[in-house]
Amino acid sequence: MNELSGPGRPANPSVQAAVVASDLGLTFPGKRAGEEVRVLKRIDIDVRPGEFVCLVGPSGCGKTTLLNLLAGFQKASRGEVLVQGEPVHGPDRRRIYIFQEGGVFPWLTVGENVAFGLRRKTEMERQRIVQHYVDMVGLTGFERVYPRQLSGGMRQRVELARALAADPAILYMDEPFGALDYFTRFKMRADLVRIWQQERKTILFVTHDIDEAVQLADRIVVLSPRPASVQAMVAVDLPRPRDANLPAYLHTRDRILGIMGMDLWSDKATRSDDASTNEGHQRQGSLTHSLAERSGPGHTETQG
């Protein structure tokens, strides 16, 4: 499969959406009437099968809560979530959640962790699958090691392998690299893109790191501050691996920063300077990238 053909192109209308959230709202009852805490205002999202969608938003806006609702760990007060046409009533092995930190079981070795979702398989098949995914995430040789003996990045790799081994259609990832150092995060993103291109899972990825979102996503859902609603959807139609120096990349990033009201450091002088030195790149970049943005809910996305 050519990895450039899938992501970023318009959805095939005959393909059922992988995840649809419609009119999703969440309000926590307060101690007294009129003190309700509104977390999510009104969320409409649809994700195509195999799509890599990043959810970004200011911290505390309810990104993780939204992901918990989509995954079925929490119940919405309004609206519903459909996964492959079925309403979500709870967690399910067909959609696996990857936690920010500490999701691997410390009492199991790496191999046993990866085998956790494979109880129904025969011993031989289990071994084969475990080895396949341990190799895929680059942990060959660590099968008998306990998570405590691993670095934070390696533990996240274990969790990714455990999720992939269960062969889910969807991966929910809640800032999975948020607790890692800069260089590890860098490698993890690159490896995740490689694995996603091999495995073709639908991924919903929460992050507060806009660079991360632009690195990874086919489409970025920008959430507003609490109570969260979808502020914009930005398609990132750049070939992977993505060059973080390309003007198109920077433009996308700054655009999202702008949407989030943080455009103060996209200094005009620097930008025009940049453009004059990289004119060729700039032209090429503006051809390859396309942005589809929507400013409010209910507005259907147009692309192409």
Instruction: Walk across the sheet containing 86-87 and list its strands.
Output: 86-87, 78-83, 19-28, 37-47, 228-235, 219-223, 52-56, 202-206, 170-174, 95-98
Give the shortest CB-173-to-other proteins separation in angstroms.
13
**Cα R_g (the chain), whole angstroms:** 20
Rounded to an integer, what distance in angstroms lies between the CA atom of residue 192 and that of residue 178? 14
CA-based nearest residue to 229, from 182, 180, 294: 294
Work out whether 205 is an interface residue with other proteins (CB under 8 A). no
Q: Which is nearer to other proteins, 1 or 269 (CB)?
A: 1
Rounded to an integer, what distance in angstroms lies between the CA atom of residue 75 and that of residue 68? 8
Rounded to 10 degrees, the C-alpha dihedral 44/48/51/55 comes to 10
CA-based nearest residue to 8, from 299, 189, 248, 174: 248
Q: Which is nearer to other proteins, 54 or 180 (CB)?
A: 180
What count of residues does the chain have?
Answer: 304
Total Cβ atoms within 10 A of residue 132: 13
Q: Residue 68: exposed, middle, or buried by beta-carbon count in 10 A (0-12, 13-18, 19+)?
A: buried
Where does this chain touch other proteins (CB under 8 A) — which range of 18-26, 106-114, 222-230, 291-299? Answer: 106-114
Give the shortest CB-229-to-other proteins separation in angstroms.
26
Give the one residue of 75, 89, 93, 299 binding other proteins; rule: CB under 8 A: 93
Give the one residue of 10, 30, 87, 106 binding other proteins; rule: CB under 8 A: 106
Binding track, positions 56-85, relative to other proteins; x by CB under 8 A: ---------------x-x------------
Work out whether 10 is an interface residue with other proteins (CB under 8 A). no
Beta-sheet strands, E only, within 57-206: 78-83, 86-87, 95-98, 170-174, 202-206
Residues touching other proteins: how many (CB under 8 A)?
51
Max Cα-Cα span within the chain: 63
Alpha helices in 137-267, H assignment, sequence order? 152-165, 182-199, 210-216, 247-259
Q: Which is nearer to other proteins, 31 or 148 (CB)?
A: 148
Where does this chain touch other proteins (CB under 8 A) — which range of 49-57, 183-191, 270-278, 285-293? Answer: 183-191
Q: Which is nearer to other proteins, 97 or 133 (CB)?
A: 97
Give the shortest CB-129-to-other proteins separation in angstroms.
14
CA-based nearest residue to 82, from 172, 166, 26, 17: 17
Place of tokens 């990825």: 205
Work out whether 186 is an interface residue with other proteins (CB under 8 A). yes
Work out whether 157 is an interface residue with other proteins (CB under 8 A). yes
Binding track, positions 114-153, relative to other proteins; x by CB under 8 A: --xx-x------------------xxxxx-xxx-xxxx-x
Work out whether 268 is an interface residue with other proteins (CB under 8 A). no
Give the one residue of 78, 121, 187, 208 binding other proteins; rule: CB under 8 A: 187
Instruction: List residues near other proteins by CB under 8 A.
Output: 1, 3, 71, 73, 90-93, 95-97, 99, 101-108, 116-117, 119, 138-142, 144-146, 148-151, 153-154, 157, 159, 166, 184, 186-187, 190-191, 193-194, 197-198, 240-241
